[in-house]
Chains A and B, each alone.
Chain A
């Protein structure tokens, strides 16, 4: 059965097909940058042909049919925007890129592209000078924000605080509330998710479940779904946004499914690196923009096929749109997804 994807295993999820596909979206290869690749009927995708590598691979979308028609995203609107942090931030598409240890050229390219296309980045690195002018598109880690005054902090989309100290979380939440900036708790994919409840009650606006943190014990899918469920059981779900974060997010399908499991937005990293290749700032920025626009079209196609016209209101946490095939029942139950073939 699927085991948790450790960072060292993360590269195994990158099949040749995936890489080529992302590169065509970005325009690093092929002739149709920013265009969703349309394939013929039938698919080689997992779990039935290609070997499933992660839990997401066992999940399929239960498409629209006659009484619930699909929507053609090239002629009719499908809204990909989402509102994060009780409406304080609007993302035009549910993407957040991790800038962490990207080299500076690529980092700048991703930052600019994210700003231009109305999405966000998450930064937890050394200096922050190079973010100048683009802070509005950055969730900044409090570790990086040290010494930052209120005026500077207000320029950012949000402050990200680690999970280790409850006191620090409460302090940052209070600081954020005072300045009117969203505070996001970055939390590993642990078994015990009680801390996200405490943090929500102490006023954080978002939870970033980050699979790349060392303390993680669960697969992102499971942890995300359980966080969503737990918050719902406590009646707190609409008070916080959940960001699902992992380096192994591979494309629009992963993003779409993670949203179905409860993510308001999805944070990724390697996908961008794999897609854009090398080049100067202008080339890289252009490729990131093409990648994002291509992914947006793919997300729209997936939503349209499920009869969903708004990601924000209809997709997030809507497990009914999905079915699991050959997935270990104990995992399936934790995800609250029905097995394939059930009405």
Chain B
């Protein structure tokens, strides 16, 4: 098949990574299985897989694993390997053999240089990947081992002997697959994808796929199965092995930081290795070994269009799509999320290298008081748990406690007003959606999409919440003691006397209040160092008010043109004699923000440069930095009083907090 015309197959899925810390025991494969099965519903029967990395495994031979459709193909693989100068086969055979399967795994142990084996693998795969798929070499590391197939994670684990009394390793990654554009009927499309000592699982669908493939073709890679996840493994291997980049440099290149946030040496690398950057939605979890150490790497895209959480306990590091996966193995782990466009990196020997955010903030684990007559949700499927809650409500119960909650979705959805639901543990995604008057109290952290399209009632989170909390919130109140993730309070709205409130005790990531049309969103930043909010606050806001304690940089609010473009236009105005050098200097010193431009320009120069800042569909917002007025206090004090009461905070702190200065954002 012409590699330039490979058809593509895409996916959206559940991911997992676990790395042991130095001194801690090796990780049994069953645990990887437990944690990925925890989000079984994120995948389908069309593909799952595992990869392990273990330093002790590393002999001098590469373990080349290939799916083959026949003994003839297996012989062909070995013939092509052995014909290559510099490669010597030391052992060979089926890993397991099931005549009912279209593809079985053939293993050939070879000795040789990594670059020689790499080239041979690429060429053999080109031969096998013809009009008819005869097979595929899917891993060839000395430390990496990949197990994948068609089925749910449990099916694959059982067929690869990973389920009970399985294999131990320093690192595991795992995947459950939801193919959206591909057949998924053969294991060749299952994750993990691997190249040399890298193994990668991915949830996403990248728009850069074509550019990435062109980059790899330019670099000599010739055969692709056509999923975007495969190219990510190739990119990481190429950049570290062939180009000699460090893992962190490669990670930054792939994450593709916004130009205005890009360190100069990374910008130079982007120009040099253009085409290696990822764009569009992705959460990538990768394992890697350089033979001396083992690394767990996780990447997320600029917009953070896919979920990712990271965890740590005494013994291990974790990366997962959902917090419940981490809690399934380590109930008390410290869990946080990666900032959009950033990467998380830890290693066996060095420990935490980059947490994936500037300020590592994680709510303390609240534990689980144990069962006291409520529902014990341990091991319960989300449908069964929701049915049980509904059954109790129909039987007349109005106060329902649930313990040992671990990732069950849709809790509190569809319950009648007046019910109080108390949750101990980590509720799954879509908690309290469409709420019309239920009070939900979570003793722990919440996952993504809390209170979507909520009309009335209250949701109280004693820990942190993740992305998209309070989307289209249009009545009632959401109180979060800790932090919220990306895109909180987006599309909030109000109607007549129905004004929703979202109060965040800690900090928020990017796009807080995007498209906000009504209601009140407050970020208190209690105990937070630095500005308690990420980029693009209130972009597209048309109504409502946002209060953030402390001063927020103006360039963080709304959508701003690149600073270089503003500076250049100002230089143009200077050349045309429309502004003085003094004015130019002042605006530059004040950050070339739209506020600075407004402060110093009037008339024609303002009108002209203003086209960079505003258009028919993009308006700048009012940003005030000041003490609260009596109107402000009237608007937010009742909700803050609730917040204080609910979380039992010292009353004098409320008055202090109300006396401080806030950044207040609203439409002009």
Chain A positions within 8 Å of B, measured between CB atoms, are 32, 34-35, 64, 66-69, 71-72, 74-77, 79, 81, 83, 86-87, 90, 92, 112, 115-118, 133-134, 232-233, 235, 237-238, 286, 289-290, 293, 297, 306-310, 312-321, 336, 338, 342-343
Contacts and interface: CB of A to CB of B under 8 A. Distances in A.
A67 B259 CA distance: 25
A112 B575 CA distance: 9
Interface in B284-307: 302-303, 305
Given A316-B274, A320-B210, A343-B7, A116 B568 contact: yes
Contact of B208 (A64, A74, A92, A318): A318
B539 A67 contact: no
B116 interface: no
9 contacts: A68-B281, A77-B258, A232-B214, A238-B218, A308-B279, A313-B279, A318-B208, A318-B209, A343-B182
A307 B207 contact: yes
Contacts of B9: 343
Contact of A67 (B180, B211, B573): B180
Interface stretch (B74-82, B584-592, B611-619): B611-619
Given A68-B280, A308-B279, A318 B210 contact: yes
Contact of A313 (B209, B256, B539, B616): B256
Contact of B540 (A75, A87, A115, A342): A75
A116 B572 contact: yes
Given A74-B540, A112-B576, A233-B218, A316 B211 contact: yes
Contacts of A297: 615
A34 B607 CA distance: 13
Nearest to B217: A232
Contacts of B536: 76-77
Contacts of A342: 7
B515 A118 contact: no
B211 A318 contact: yes
A72 B608 CA distance: 24
A313 B208 contact: yes
B213 interface: yes
A69 B279 CA distance: 11
A310 B572 contact: no
B12 interface: yes
A191 to B, nearest CB: 20
Contacts of B219: 235
Contacts of A66: 180
Given A76-B559, A310-B279, A336 B615 contact: no
Interface stretch (B264-272, B359-367, B377-385): B264-272
Interface string B184-209: 00000000000000000000111111
A19 B506 CA distance: 54
Contacts of A310: 256, 277, 279
Nearest to A64: B207
The listed residue with most A CB atoms (<10 A of its CB), out of B209, B218, B272, B536, is B218
Contact of A71 (B181, B218, B303): B303
Contacts of B573: 116
B564 A118 contact: yes
A316 B276 CA distance: 12
Contacts of A321: 207, 210
Contacts of A336: 4-5
A317 B268 contact: no
B569 interface: yes
A289 B259 CA distance: 23
B271 A238 contact: yes
Contact of A314 (B277, B515, B572): B277
Contact of B270 (A76, A92, A134, A313): A313
Contact of B615 (A34, A76, A133): A34
A67 B205 contact: yes
Contacts of A318: 207-211, 214
The dominant DSSP class at the A interface is loop
A83 B273 CA distance: 13
B568 A92 contact: yes
A68 B301 CA distance: 12
Contact of B274 (A67, A77, A115, A238): A238
A67 B281 contact: yes
B618 A75 contact: yes
B559 A314 contact: no
Given A309-B303, A343-B8, A81 B259 contact: yes
A306 B207 contact: yes
A317 B275 contact: yes
A133 B267 CA distance: 29
Nearest to B560: A77
Contact of A68 (B7, B207, B214, B617): B207
Interface of B: 4-5, 7-10, 12, 180-182, 204-211, 213-214, 217-219, 256, 258-259, 267-268, 270-275, 277, 279-281, 302-303, 305, 511, 514-515, 536, 539-540, 559, 562, 564-565, 568-569, 571-573, 575-576, 608, 611-612, 615-618
Contacts of A133: 575
Given A307-B280, A310-B256, A313-B256, A118 B565 contact: yes
A314 B210 CA distance: 8
Contact of B515 (A32, A75, A112, A306): A75
Contacts of A68: 10, 205-207, 280-281
Contacts of A118: 564-565, 568-569
Contact of B275 (A79, A238, A293): A238
B636 to A, nearest CB: 25
B268 A87 contact: yes
Contacts of A77: 258, 536, 559
Nearest to A231: B218
A117 B612 CA distance: 9
A232 B536 CA distance: 37
Contacts of B204: 67
B205 A319 contact: no
A134 B575 CA distance: 9
B271 A83 contact: yes
A315 B212 CA distance: 10
Contact of B569 (A90, A116, A313, A338): A116
The listed residue with most A CB atoms (<10 A of its CB), out of B204, B219, B568, B571, is B568
A337 to B, nearest CB: 10
A32 B616 contact: yes
Contacts of A343: 7-9, 181-182
A11 B248 CA distance: 52
B207 A314 contact: yes
Nearest to B12: A67
Contact of A317 (B12, B214, B511, B568): B214
A268 B376 CA distance: 69
Contacts of A75: 514-515, 539-540, 559, 618
B564 A74 contact: no
B358 to A, nearest CB: 20
Contacts of B8: 320, 343
A238 B571 CA distance: 31
Nearest to B536: A76
The listed residue with most A CB atoms (<10 A of its CB), out of B5, B214, B616, is B214
Contacts of A338: 5
Contacts of B572: 112, 115-116
B393 to A, nearest CB: 33
Given A83-B270, A115-B568, A308-B207, 14 more contacts: A35-B615, A68-B207, A69-B305, A76-B539, A86-B272, A92-B564, A293-B612, A309-B302, A310-B256, A314-B279, A315-B211, A318-B211, A319-B210, A320-B8
Contact of A309 (B279, B539, B540, B569): B279
Contacts of B565: 81, 92, 117-118
Nearest to A236: B218
B242 to A, nearest CB: 11
A321 B214 CA distance: 12
A91 to B, nearest CB: 10
A310 to B, nearest CB: 6
Contacts of A71: 303
